[in-house]
Structure 1
Amino acid sequence: MMLCFYPLQRPAVTPKQFRDIQAALGWTHAETARELGLSEVSVKRIATGKQVITDQTARALVGMLLIHGEGLTKKFSKLLDTYHDDTKMNVD
């Protein structure tokens, strides 16, 4: 019989980080559950540390922060504005 041991890894997002991201997005447990495709009970358990946050859930939550929060949407919008300003042609 061969036994394999895998090192225990820290979750990608801690329960406190989960709650902080939730607060930054202004989402309730119900909204977070809907956006992440989880049950509201699971979200409550994750937020209190009673349920492990899977890597998939952590990536989805961070992605939501980038998309809906102060992340990519504003940066992308500024980048587009800069691009359009640089490509305007002066026609007189």
Structure 2
Amino acid sequence: MTEKQKNATAYWKENLKYLAILLSIWFLVSYVFGILLVDQLNTIKMGGFKLGFWFAQQGSIYVFVILIFVYIRLMNKLDKKYGVDE
């Protein structure tokens, strides 16, 4: 295996690791907090709203948008690390 192939393999392994972590966070916030734990979270108030309701209606969307920007930063760093940045 050439050095270029090793770099490409390492790049994609790191990329997939980032994706798995970020998608796990999104799943936790949107599905677990917004659906499965909604009754437990509704006992906590945030800004006058029940926390479970907030996660189901707005929180998961905010977290998703934040995760997009986190992914952009991580990928920019990864691209620079492996010399594939523009």
TM-score, structure 1 normalization: 0.34
Point out the structure with the larger strand share: 2
Tell which structure's C-alpha radius of gyration is larger: 1
Higher helix share: 2
How high is the TM-score relative to the length of structure 2?
Answer: 0.36
